[in-house]
Amino acid sequence: MANGSIYQLIEDCEATNKALYKFYAAVMIVIFILALPLNVSVLHLFIFKMKFWKSNTNNIFLFNLVLADILLLFCLPIKAHNFIQGERRSGNDAVCKAMLFMLFLNRGASIAFLTVTSIDRYFNVVHPGRKNLLKALKKSPHISIFIWLLLLPLTIPTMLKNFDCCNSHKSDGNKEDTLIKDVVDSLREVVFFTQIIIPFIILVYCTVHIVNRLRKKTVGDKTKLRRAVFLVTSVMVVFSLCFLPCTISRVVLLVARVQEWQESYQDKAAVAFDGLMVLSYMDCLLDPLVYCFCSTKFKALYISNYFPCFNKDGPISVDSSSGNTSHPKRNNVI
Protein backbone atom coordinates (compact mmCIF):
# COMPACT_ATOMS: atom_id res chain seq x y z
CA MET A 1 0.00 0.00 0.00
CA ALA A 2 1.38 3.41 -0.92
CA ASN A 3 2.17 5.99 1.72
CA GLY A 4 -0.48 8.35 0.40
CA SER A 5 -3.23 5.76 0.78
CA ILE A 6 -2.06 4.88 4.31
CA TYR A 7 -2.22 8.57 5.22
CA GLN A 8 -5.73 8.86 3.83
CA LEU A 9 -6.88 5.83 5.83
CA ILE A 10 -5.44 7.37 9.00
CA GLU A 11 -7.27 10.66 8.35
CA ASP A 12 -10.53 8.85 7.53
CA CYS A 13 -10.27 6.82 10.74
CA GLU A 14 -10.23 3.50 8.92
CA ALA A 15 -8.26 0.47 10.03
CA THR A 16 -5.21 -0.19 7.89
CA ASN A 17 -4.81 -3.72 9.24
CA LYS A 18 -8.25 -5.34 9.07
CA ALA A 19 -7.17 -8.69 10.53
CA LEU A 20 -5.52 -7.09 13.57
CA TYR A 21 -8.57 -4.97 14.31
CA LYS A 22 -10.76 -8.06 14.11
CA PHE A 23 -8.48 -9.58 16.74
CA TYR A 24 -8.97 -6.45 18.86
CA ALA A 25 -12.72 -6.89 18.44
CA ALA A 26 -12.52 -10.52 19.53
CA VAL A 27 -10.63 -9.51 22.68
CA MET A 28 -13.29 -6.93 23.53
CA ILE A 29 -16.06 -9.47 23.01
CA VAL A 30 -14.31 -11.93 25.34
CA ILE A 31 -13.89 -9.19 27.97
CA PHE A 32 -17.57 -8.31 27.62
CA ILE A 33 -18.72 -11.94 27.95
CA LEU A 34 -16.58 -12.58 31.03
CA ALA A 35 -16.92 -9.23 32.79
CA LEU A 36 -20.64 -8.46 32.35
CA PRO A 37 -22.09 -11.38 34.38
CA LEU A 38 -19.36 -10.97 36.99
CA ASN A 39 -20.07 -7.25 37.48
CA VAL A 40 -23.85 -7.70 37.36
CA SER A 41 -23.71 -10.43 40.02
CA VAL A 42 -21.50 -8.25 42.23
CA LEU A 43 -23.87 -5.32 41.73
CA HIS A 44 -26.78 -7.55 42.69
CA LEU A 45 -25.08 -8.42 45.97
CA PHE A 46 -24.36 -4.79 46.78
CA ILE A 47 -27.98 -3.75 46.20
CA PHE A 48 -30.11 -6.66 47.38
CA LYS A 49 -27.90 -8.46 49.90
CA MET A 50 -25.47 -5.98 51.41
CA LYS A 51 -27.65 -2.85 51.07
CA PHE A 52 -24.54 -0.77 50.41
CA TRP A 53 -26.22 2.56 51.28
CA LYS A 54 -26.54 1.44 54.93
CA SER A 55 -22.96 0.24 55.18
CA ASN A 56 -20.20 1.93 57.17
CA THR A 57 -17.49 0.47 54.93
CA ASN A 58 -16.19 1.17 51.43
CA ASN A 59 -19.26 -0.43 49.87
CA ILE A 60 -20.62 2.88 48.52
CA PHE A 61 -17.38 3.51 46.62
CA LEU A 62 -17.16 -0.08 45.45
CA PHE A 63 -20.75 0.01 44.24
CA ASN A 64 -20.00 3.07 42.11
CA LEU A 65 -16.82 1.44 40.83
CA VAL A 66 -18.76 -1.62 39.66
CA LEU A 67 -21.52 0.58 38.20
CA ALA A 68 -18.98 2.54 36.16
CA ASP A 69 -17.42 -0.68 34.89
CA ILE A 70 -20.82 -2.05 33.82
CA LEU A 71 -21.69 1.13 31.91
CA LEU A 72 -18.30 1.00 30.23
CA LEU A 73 -18.85 -2.63 29.24
CA PHE A 74 -21.97 -1.74 27.26
CA CYS A 75 -19.76 0.31 24.93
CA LEU A 76 -17.57 -2.65 24.00
CA PRO A 77 -19.96 -4.47 21.61
CA ILE A 78 -20.41 -1.27 19.58
CA LYS A 79 -16.68 -0.66 19.54
CA ALA A 80 -16.06 -4.29 18.53
CA HIS A 81 -18.60 -3.96 15.71
CA ASN A 82 -16.77 -0.92 14.36
CA PHE A 83 -13.45 -2.75 14.43
CA ILE A 84 -14.94 -5.75 12.63
CA GLN A 85 -16.22 -3.37 9.93
CA GLY A 86 -12.70 -1.97 9.53
CA GLU A 87 -13.54 1.33 11.25
CA ARG A 88 -11.72 2.74 14.24
CA ARG A 89 -14.88 4.57 15.30
CA SER A 90 -18.52 4.79 14.21
CA GLY A 91 -19.21 6.66 10.98
CA ASN A 92 -22.38 8.06 12.55
CA ASP A 93 -21.53 11.37 14.21
CA ALA A 94 -24.08 11.04 17.02
CA VAL A 95 -23.06 7.47 17.83
CA CYS A 96 -19.40 8.43 17.74
CA LYS A 97 -19.84 11.29 20.22
CA ALA A 98 -22.10 9.22 22.47
CA MET A 99 -19.52 6.44 22.52
CA LEU A 100 -16.72 8.82 23.41
CA PHE A 101 -18.85 10.35 26.16
CA MET A 102 -19.66 6.95 27.67
CA LEU A 103 -16.13 5.62 27.32
CA PHE A 104 -14.39 8.57 28.95
CA LEU A 105 -17.05 9.27 31.59
CA ASN A 106 -17.21 5.71 32.87
CA ARG A 107 -13.51 4.99 32.50
CA GLY A 108 -12.83 8.22 34.40
CA ALA A 109 -15.38 7.23 37.05
CA SER A 110 -13.82 3.79 37.39
CA ILE A 111 -10.38 5.33 37.94
CA ALA A 112 -11.80 7.99 40.30
CA PHE A 113 -13.59 5.55 42.60
CA LEU A 114 -10.60 3.22 42.51
CA THR A 115 -8.45 6.13 43.67
CA VAL A 116 -10.89 7.31 46.35
CA THR A 117 -11.12 3.76 47.72
CA SER A 118 -7.32 3.60 47.96
CA ILE A 119 -7.18 6.99 49.71
CA ASP A 120 -9.77 5.81 52.22
CA ARG A 121 -7.80 2.62 52.84
CA TYR A 122 -4.65 4.73 53.27
CA PHE A 123 -6.21 6.76 56.09
CA ASN A 124 -7.65 3.65 57.74
CA VAL A 125 -4.29 1.87 57.78
CA VAL A 126 -1.68 4.62 58.07
CA HIS A 127 -3.68 7.16 60.12
CA PRO A 128 -6.39 5.04 61.79
CA GLY A 129 -7.16 7.52 64.57
CA ARG A 130 -7.06 10.71 62.52
CA LYS A 131 -10.30 12.37 61.54
CA ASN A 132 -10.59 13.19 57.85
CA LEU A 133 -13.26 14.60 55.58
CA LEU A 134 -13.37 11.49 53.39
CA LYS A 135 -14.10 9.27 56.40
CA ALA A 136 -17.02 11.49 57.33
CA LEU A 137 -18.41 11.71 53.79
CA LYS A 138 -18.00 8.11 52.69
CA LYS A 139 -21.15 7.13 54.57
CA SER A 140 -23.10 9.58 52.43
CA PRO A 141 -23.88 9.27 48.71
CA HIS A 142 -23.06 12.96 48.24
CA ILE A 143 -19.38 12.41 47.58
CA SER A 144 -20.17 9.80 44.93
CA ILE A 145 -22.64 12.14 43.24
CA PHE A 146 -20.03 14.92 43.35
CA ILE A 147 -17.45 12.69 41.63
CA TRP A 148 -19.89 11.83 38.81
CA LEU A 149 -20.83 15.51 38.34
CA LEU A 150 -17.18 16.58 38.39
CA LEU A 151 -16.38 14.16 35.57
CA LEU A 152 -19.12 15.47 33.28
CA PRO A 153 -17.40 18.74 32.19
CA LEU A 154 -14.06 16.93 31.94
CA THR A 155 -15.61 14.55 29.42
CA ILE A 156 -16.86 17.25 27.02
CA PRO A 157 -13.47 18.00 25.33
CA THR A 158 -13.07 14.34 24.42
CA MET A 159 -16.38 14.15 22.55
CA LEU A 160 -14.75 14.80 19.19
CA LYS A 161 -14.18 12.32 16.40
CA ASN A 162 -10.61 13.34 15.75
CA PHE A 163 -9.70 12.46 19.34
CA ASP A 164 -10.91 8.92 18.85
CA CYS A 165 -8.98 8.79 15.59
CA CYS A 166 -5.86 10.16 17.30
CA ASN A 167 -5.65 13.16 14.98
CA SER A 168 -4.78 15.72 17.63
CA HIS A 169 -2.25 18.39 16.63
CA LYS A 170 -2.19 17.23 13.02
CA SER A 171 -0.58 19.53 10.51
CA ASP A 172 -3.06 21.41 8.32
CA GLY A 173 -2.44 23.46 5.25
CA ASN A 174 -5.12 25.94 6.32
CA LYS A 175 -3.61 28.14 9.03
CA GLU A 176 -6.91 29.78 10.00
CA ASP A 177 -8.15 29.06 13.51
CA THR A 178 -4.94 27.13 14.19
CA LEU A 179 -4.57 28.63 17.66
CA ILE A 180 -8.12 27.67 18.68
CA LYS A 181 -7.66 24.17 17.32
CA ASP A 182 -4.37 23.73 19.18
CA VAL A 183 -5.97 24.89 22.43
CA VAL A 184 -8.85 22.42 22.03
CA ASP A 185 -6.46 19.61 21.10
CA SER A 186 -4.24 20.38 24.07
CA LEU A 187 -7.20 20.61 26.44
CA ARG A 188 -8.55 17.17 25.65
CA GLU A 189 -5.07 15.64 25.79
CA VAL A 190 -4.61 17.19 29.24
CA VAL A 191 -7.92 15.65 30.32
CA PHE A 192 -6.86 12.25 28.99
CA PHE A 193 -3.48 12.26 30.74
CA THR A 194 -4.60 13.78 34.06
CA GLN A 195 -7.29 11.09 34.40
CA ILE A 196 -4.49 8.54 34.56
CA ILE A 197 -1.28 10.23 35.75
CA ILE A 198 -2.66 12.01 38.83
CA PRO A 199 -4.52 8.92 40.14
CA PHE A 200 -1.42 6.82 39.45
CA ILE A 201 0.73 9.14 41.58
CA ILE A 202 -1.86 9.00 44.37
CA LEU A 203 -2.04 5.22 44.15
CA VAL A 204 1.74 4.87 44.33
CA TYR A 205 1.90 7.13 47.38
CA CYS A 206 -0.93 5.33 49.17
CA THR A 207 0.32 1.86 48.28
CA VAL A 208 3.91 2.50 49.43
CA HIS A 209 2.79 3.92 52.77
CA ILE A 210 0.19 1.20 53.34
CA VAL A 211 2.70 -1.57 52.62
CA ASN A 212 5.31 0.02 54.89
CA ARG A 213 2.76 0.45 57.66
CA LEU A 214 1.52 -3.13 57.41
CA ARG A 215 5.04 -4.57 57.39
CA LYS A 216 5.94 -2.64 60.55
CA LYS A 217 2.98 -4.01 62.46
CA THR A 218 4.00 -6.73 64.90
CA VAL A 219 0.58 -7.27 66.47
CA GLY A 220 -2.23 -8.96 64.60
CA ASP A 221 -2.95 -11.89 62.35
CA LYS A 222 -0.02 -12.22 59.95
CA THR A 223 -2.28 -13.94 57.42
CA LYS A 224 -4.56 -10.89 57.35
CA LEU A 225 -1.56 -8.60 57.06
CA ARG A 226 -0.19 -10.57 54.10
CA ARG A 227 -3.60 -10.50 52.46
CA ALA A 228 -3.79 -6.72 52.92
CA VAL A 229 -0.33 -6.24 51.40
CA PHE A 230 -1.30 -8.49 48.51
CA LEU A 231 -4.47 -6.46 47.95
CA VAL A 232 -2.86 -3.02 47.77
CA THR A 233 -0.04 -4.39 45.61
CA SER A 234 -2.58 -6.00 43.27
CA VAL A 235 -4.31 -2.65 42.84
CA MET A 236 -1.09 -1.08 41.63
CA VAL A 237 -0.39 -3.99 39.28
CA VAL A 238 -3.88 -3.84 37.75
CA PHE A 239 -3.74 -0.07 37.31
CA SER A 240 -0.26 -0.22 35.79
CA LEU A 241 -1.19 -3.06 33.45
CA CYS A 242 -4.44 -1.52 32.23
CA PHE A 243 -3.72 2.20 31.99
CA LEU A 244 -0.01 2.99 31.81
CA PRO A 245 0.65 1.24 28.44
CA CYS A 246 -2.09 3.19 26.63
CA THR A 247 -0.84 6.41 28.23
CA ILE A 248 2.71 5.82 27.00
CA SER A 249 1.46 4.86 23.53
CA ARG A 250 -0.61 8.07 23.44
CA VAL A 251 2.56 10.08 24.09
CA VAL A 252 4.35 8.28 21.24
CA LEU A 253 1.39 8.89 18.96
CA LEU A 254 1.29 12.61 19.72
CA VAL A 255 5.03 12.90 19.10
CA ALA A 256 4.54 11.13 15.78
CA ARG A 257 1.79 13.59 14.81
CA VAL A 258 3.57 16.76 15.94
CA GLN A 259 6.95 15.84 14.44
CA GLU A 260 5.26 14.56 11.26
CA TRP A 261 6.82 11.14 11.16
CA GLN A 262 6.38 9.02 8.08
CA GLU A 263 2.80 7.91 7.53
CA SER A 264 3.68 4.26 8.08
CA TYR A 265 5.12 5.07 11.53
CA GLN A 266 2.09 7.18 12.40
CA ASP A 267 -0.13 4.28 11.40
CA LYS A 268 1.83 1.83 13.57
CA ALA A 269 1.60 4.23 16.51
CA ALA A 270 -2.18 4.56 16.03
CA VAL A 271 -2.66 0.80 15.76
CA ALA A 272 -0.59 0.24 18.92
CA PHE A 273 -2.62 2.87 20.78
CA ASP A 274 -5.92 1.27 19.75
CA GLY A 275 -4.68 -2.14 20.89
CA LEU A 276 -3.51 -0.84 24.26
CA MET A 277 -6.81 0.97 24.74
CA VAL A 278 -8.47 -2.42 24.31
CA LEU A 279 -6.12 -3.72 27.02
CA SER A 280 -7.32 -0.93 29.33
CA TYR A 281 -10.85 -2.37 29.20
CA MET A 282 -9.50 -5.38 31.11
CA ASP A 283 -9.93 -3.14 34.14
CA CYS A 284 -13.67 -3.95 34.03
CA LEU A 285 -12.86 -7.62 34.53
CA LEU A 286 -10.08 -7.23 37.09
CA ASP A 287 -11.72 -4.65 39.38
CA PRO A 288 -14.27 -7.05 40.92
CA LEU A 289 -11.61 -9.72 41.35
CA VAL A 290 -9.17 -7.42 43.12
CA TYR A 291 -11.48 -5.24 45.20
CA CYS A 292 -14.27 -7.66 46.02
CA PHE A 293 -12.88 -11.17 45.96
CA CYS A 294 -9.77 -10.28 47.96
CA SER A 295 -12.22 -9.85 50.84
CA THR A 296 -12.88 -13.21 52.45
CA LYS A 297 -16.27 -12.00 53.70
CA PHE A 298 -17.41 -10.88 50.26
CA LYS A 299 -16.05 -14.01 48.61
CA ALA A 300 -17.91 -16.19 51.10
CA LEU A 301 -21.11 -14.19 50.53
CA TYR A 302 -20.72 -14.49 46.76
CA ILE A 303 -20.19 -18.26 46.89
CA SER A 304 -23.08 -18.67 49.33
CA ASN A 305 -25.48 -16.88 46.97
CA TYR A 306 -24.36 -18.03 43.53
CA PHE A 307 -22.51 -21.30 44.15
CA PRO A 308 -24.09 -22.75 47.31
CA CYS A 309 -22.94 -26.25 46.35
CA PHE A 310 -19.35 -25.14 47.09
CA ASN A 311 -20.27 -23.59 50.43
CA LYS A 312 -19.48 -26.13 53.14
CA ASP A 313 -20.33 -23.97 56.14
CA GLY A 314 -23.93 -23.10 55.36
CA PRO A 315 -25.59 -19.82 54.32
CA ILE A 316 -24.18 -16.42 55.24
CA SER A 317 -26.34 -13.67 56.63
CA VAL A 318 -25.85 -9.94 56.16
CA ASP A 319 -26.58 -7.31 58.78
CA SER A 320 -28.66 -4.77 56.85
CA SER A 321 -27.80 -1.99 59.29
CA SER A 322 -24.04 -2.31 58.88
CA GLY A 323 -23.50 -4.35 55.75
CA ASN A 324 -21.34 -6.82 57.66
CA THR A 325 -21.54 -10.52 56.88
CA SER A 326 -21.86 -13.21 59.52
CA HIS A 327 -21.68 -16.98 59.45
CA PRO A 328 -24.25 -18.73 61.66
CA LYS A 329 -22.20 -21.88 62.21
CA ARG A 330 -19.02 -20.02 63.04
CA ASN A 331 -20.88 -17.67 65.36
CA ASN A 332 -22.30 -20.65 67.23
CA VAL A 333 -18.84 -22.05 67.73
CA ILE A 334 -17.58 -18.76 69.06
What would you report as the CA-atom Rg of the chain, rounded to the nearest whole angstrom? Answer: 22
User: For the structural domain made of 11-164+178-325, what CATH number should be given?
Assistant: 1.20.1070.10
Task: Give the pLDDT score at 332.
Answer: 40
Query: Pick the residue with more confidence: 130 or 207?
Result: 207
pLDDT tens column, 192-219 = 888 899 999 999 999 999 888 888 876 6
* Residue among 68, 258, 96, 108 at smallest CA distance from 164: 96
- As a whole number, the mean pLDDT across the chain is 79
Give the model's pLDDT for residue 16.
83
Which tens digit of pLDDT belongs to each residue from 240-254?
A: 999 999 999 999 988
What DSSP letter does each residue of 165-200 carry, written as one string?
TT-TT---S--TTHHHHHHHHHHHHHHHHHHHHHHH
Cβ atoms within 10 Å of 139's Cβ, excluding its own? 14
- Which pLDDT score is estimated for 4? 46
If you average pLDDT over residues 321-326, what whole number do you get? 54
Indicate left, alpha or beta for 326 from its phi (over 0: left) and psi (-120 to 50: alpha): beta
